[in-house]
Amino acid sequence: MKKDDLIAPGHRTCAGCGPAIATRMMLRATGKNVVLCHATGCMEVTTTQYPTTAWKVPWIHVLFENANSVASGVREALDAQGKEDVHVIAFGGDGGMADIGLRAMSGLFERGHNILVVIYDNEAYMNTGIQRSGSTPWQAATTTTPAGKVSKGKEQWKKDMIAIAVAHHVPYAATASIAFPFDLEKKIKKALSIKGPKFIQIHTPCPVGWYYSSEKTVEVAKLAVDSKMWALYEVENGVKKLTYKPKETPVADYMKLQKRFRHLSEEDIKEYQKRVDENFDKMFDGRQ
């Protein structure tokens, strides 16, 4: 952890920003030999307000929908110059990558480009006003899925992006969390060592959109994993492996720190716990 940071301090992310932590960790794993193609989002608008930049590596800002397409072009250009050793990363939040940019990501995977796709997942469109995304958890309150007398927040379960990546037969896909930095770094390095399209989704809590005190970001991230709200695993050539055994922390302990779940009753949380347990067991055949 004594490596130089490749994103400079003094940028404009919020206090306790999960994506900023993820970005620092990711770049420590990649080193300087990398080109980032970055979709519009929180980390883009806060790090490159004209005429400044916080990035110490080659970095390109593109639209919500086409970071993966631009990364594909960058990869082809580097290969044409004989620079196959330069890593290319398509990078963005869940809104720009899991929703708006999903079609371009699918194309990247299907074509087989030697690119790592990384999503920093703060579970909503935080950059534009905390609107729900496909990655927002079930029953979480957002500005477009407000909780009230006729609604309990988002009605749909969180989108399974790893399953979508694996369905494209990518050689490597994994989840990570800012609360487990060595696991995250290991997975980034492993992905970059594999030729072909790779995918990593990093869970990155957001104090502004999740409504918790900013010093608790890493605590919230760890509770997400230990409560099985976010599983740490990898899928290499179709073989799934759990990389961290959760501690069976109650879902209620994770939720109580976040106001986006404060509208849920004890019965609601019991039902939530049941569904989380069932989903985890289904994903891992009951193995822990």
Domain at 254, CATH number:
3.40.50.970
Q: Is residue 26 part of a domain?
A: yes
**Residue 266 buriedness (CB in 10 A; 0-12 / 13-18 / 19+):** exposed
User: Is residue 11 domain-resident?
Assistant: no
Q: Which residue has the tokens 């720009």?
A: 96
Q: With respect to residue 217, please indicate whether it lies within any of the assigned structural domains.
A: yes
Q: Is residue 37 part of a domain?
A: yes
Is 270 within a domain? yes
Name the pTM for this structure. 0.96
Place of tokens 């079609």: 103
Residue 187 lies in a domain: yes
Domain presence at residue 130: yes
> How far apart (Å, rounded) are the C-alpha atoms in residues 42 and 44?
5
Q: Is residue 10 part of a domain?
A: no
How far apart, in whole angstroms, are the C-alpha atoms of residue 94 and residue 76? Answer: 25
Domain that holds residue 131: 18-284
The total number of structural domains that make up the chain? 1
SS (H, E, C) 77-131: HHHHCCCCCCEEEEEEEHHHHHHCCHHHHHHHHHHCCCCEEEEEECCCEHHHCCE
Per-residue pLDDT of the chain (288 residues; tens, 9 = 90+): 556 899 999 999 999 999 999 999 999 999 999 999 999 999 999 999 989 999 999 999 999 999 999 999 999 999 999 999 999 999 999 999 999 999 999 999 999 999 999 999 999 999 999 999 999 999 999 999 999 998 999 999 999 999 999 999 999 999 999 999 999 999 999 999 999 999 999 999 999 999 999 999 999 999 999 999 999 999 999 999 999 999 999 999 999 999 999 999 999 999 999 999 999 999 997 554
